[in-house]
Structure 1
């Protein structure tokens, strides 16, 4: 007969050490709602409120780091080491998020732009979600859709608070995945949109994007391909730059000029972006999706940081460092979402928002999708152990 350890209380002796978690493939993620953009926008909005009140942690000594990245040298004595081609990297993006989420997680991915020649996405992503108390895994999930939808949802949160309610015209630079999810988010919060202007580099991508719009949003009755960044911006109620490109020389980044912008325009920028001097004016309202992220980037990189991090929010921090704009000119989206700062103040206000991409976004949407999967019985249950070998 087995005897109970006399040092254990009855409660302790009944605690199970078994750990199971679920694996969610990309089709599982779709079944669990990862492509529900309206719900994703709502989740990101809630997440920004949690961020603003400080109930989160990301990587780094500042608890605001984007993550940790492995990059490769220009030359190496090791013939099998990857070469530093565009977007060639491995990256880990860990975070904890409080509120009703109460979970931790990490997105891990490898990226190589040459994947496209192999019929693969540029980046291949996985996400692990953990119990914040024990650290035990809850789920291991495909994360390309998770990441794409949470990225696009953030411009949607911005549009909900900062774009005019009757917005009709969207100007888009770059007809890729980010453009699709950003437009989906804009449609979720501003259903009056009926016109899209798009600039891209290749006919194949443009044709695919236009076909996707026709199938997904029949209420968009006008789609026009334009030839310049100026045409993307002029006459648009909402503008977004979603094109990828090389970093290092900000003069090559797509640039917004003040003279192109109509009164009342909202610009959401999740990709490379620069501005002309007239856009530095204090009457151009400048919003950061999370100030802590940008300050972490600013601490971690050589100056000027915009050479290394192409987000327009980093250009603003460079301008603060140079004494050309005031730090008080930079506003926090979380503060706006929480109701402690005004959203759009009038129909003529020009507002520009920088979108940096936060690990807590993956945790927020990953947690919601995981809980949906558990409720619906979706995924493959895997066992880590019944009793750990080492304790």
Structure 2
């Protein structure tokens, strides 16, 4: 009988140290780009109002884990969705279960970490950042930027002005503006919405802007012209080569040769942004390897702090 460490939402969130998660997610992305990760494409069962996805993965040096996550539209709030679920961590040597964690904060923070790494790799000199959205993922993105890049100004934009102001108040250098003005004035645009159709047109983006899109679980978050014009980056090859929910809606029909893996940029095997400049686009689909990375950070913290509850299973 195994002793499984169970962590609730607040304990899971407390263990997600920003710098350590960023390092672990970077390691997972590099492993993905080198073909070292064992993980099947995400599968999902569809219910009338949403889906339940399954994402197992093994990452050498980080661990073996699986996530069950539901993605359901928020009733009465078009364009918003919630991500709820569990992450189970297993011993990679004997297969015994080690820990059970809340998937919502893990998903939000590891996704924000990959988006932030795309900014660091593809737009390291960014002086103006826009965050589009006001939900869970936008909140995680603003929090990570506040922790890691607090001096860089951020503009928050969303359909709900009160929610935009409340989110901006969590960052020391954040202001609120319309989506159009936020995008037009940004070097980097983080799209963090539950949109089913493009949030803004290509024409609003600066010539050398970097766009990070982590939404679009139910449809296209980005204008097709953004995909057509941009140098494309993703976490894994299936972002373009697999149909949704494993792949990205925006990358269906795109030649996979156009898509560079972000991990290849992070470890120096690909130069990233072309010397001639131009638009760069990171399209995130999420990946089980990133959940393994974040879960490994949380469990290490919990063991060091004596947090959580041991349950016999």
Query: What TM-score, normalized by structure 1, do the two folds share?
Result: 0.71
Task: Answer yes or no: is the 8 Å Cα contact 2:134–2:167 preserved in 1.
Answer: yes
Task: Indicate yes or no: 2:57 matched with 1:95.
Answer: yes
Q: CA deviation at 1:194?
A: 1.8
- Taking the TM superposition and a 5 Å limit, the aligned residue runs for 1:188-203 are 190-196=149-155, 198-203=156-161
Cα deviation per residue 1:237-270 (whole Å; 9 max; x = unaligned)? 1101111134xxxxx332441x322243111111
Q: 1:195 to 1:368 in 2, by over 3 A?
A: closer
Aligned match for 2:190, one of 235, 240, 243: 240
Structure 1 residue 318: Cα displacement: 1.3
CA distance in 2, matches of 1:347, 1:187: 31
Deviation of residue 187 (structure 1)?
4.5
* Structure 1 match to 2:94: 134
**Which moved further from structure 2: 341-350 or 175-184?**
341-350
Distance 1:276 1:364, change over 3 A: closer
The answer to whether the Cα contact below 8 Å between 1:20 and 1:381 also exists between their aligned partners in 2 is: yes
Which residue does 1:185 correspond to in 2?
144
Task: Identify the residue that residue 109 of structure 2 maps to in structure 1.
Answer: 149
Give the equivalent residue in structure 2 for 1:70: 45
Residue deviations 1:212-246 (CA, integer Å, cap 9, x gap): x2xxx32x0x50221x4x32321201101111134
Paired residue for 1:40?
Answer: 21
Structure 2 residue runs without a partner (length 5+)? none
Q: Give the 3 Å change call, closer, same or farther, for CA 137–114 of structure 1 in structure 2.
A: same
Contact (CA 8 Å) 1:168, 1:192: kept in 2 or not? no
Alignment of 1:13-28 (within 5 A): 18-28=1-11
Larger-Rg structure: 1
State the secondary structure of the residue aligned to 1:287: strand
Task: Tell me if structure 2 keeps the 8 A contact 1:159–1:189.
Answer: no
Compute the displacement of 1:289 (Å). Answer: 2.0
**Alpha-carbon distance change, 110 to 268 in structure 1, aligned in 2, over 3 angstroms:** closer
Instruction: Write out per-residue CA displacement over residues 187-207 of structure 1, whole angstroms, 9 at most, x where no aligned residue.
Output: 4554441241x3322234223
Structure-to-structure mapping, 1:348-363, within 5 angstroms: 348-363=277-292
For 1:126 and 1:372, the matched residues in 2 are separated by 18
Pairing partner for 1:58 from 27, 34, 39: 39
How far apart, CA to CA, are the structure 2 residues paired with 1:225 and 1:145? 27
Q: CA deviation at 1:278?
A: 7.2
Contact 2:127 2:153 in 1 (8 A): yes
8 Å CA contact retained: 2:130, 2:190: yes
Report if the CA contact (8 A) 1:271-1:310 is conserved. Answer: no
Matches within 5 A, 1:306-321: 311=248, 314-320=249-255
Counterpart among 137, 153, 177 of residue 225 in structure 1: 177
- Superimposed CA distance per residue, residues 294-349 of structure 1 (whole angstroms, 9 cap, x where no aligned partner): 3133xxx6xxxxxx7894xx4344143xxxxxx44321111111211113354944
Distance 1:185 1:342, change over 3 A: farther
1:15 corresponds in structure 2 to none
Match of 1:162 among 122, 126, 130: 122
Q: Matched residue of 2:190: which SS?
A: strand
Structure 2 counterparts to residues 5-16 of structure 1, below 5 A: none
Q: Distance in 2 between matches of 1:206 and 1:296?
A: 34
Structure-2-length-normalised TM-score: 0.87
RMSD, aligned α-carbons: 2.6
**Counterpart selection for 2:164 from 191, 194, 206:** 206
**How far apart in 1 are the matches of 2:309 and 2:76?**
29
Check the 8 A contact 2:208/2:277 in 1, yes or no: yes
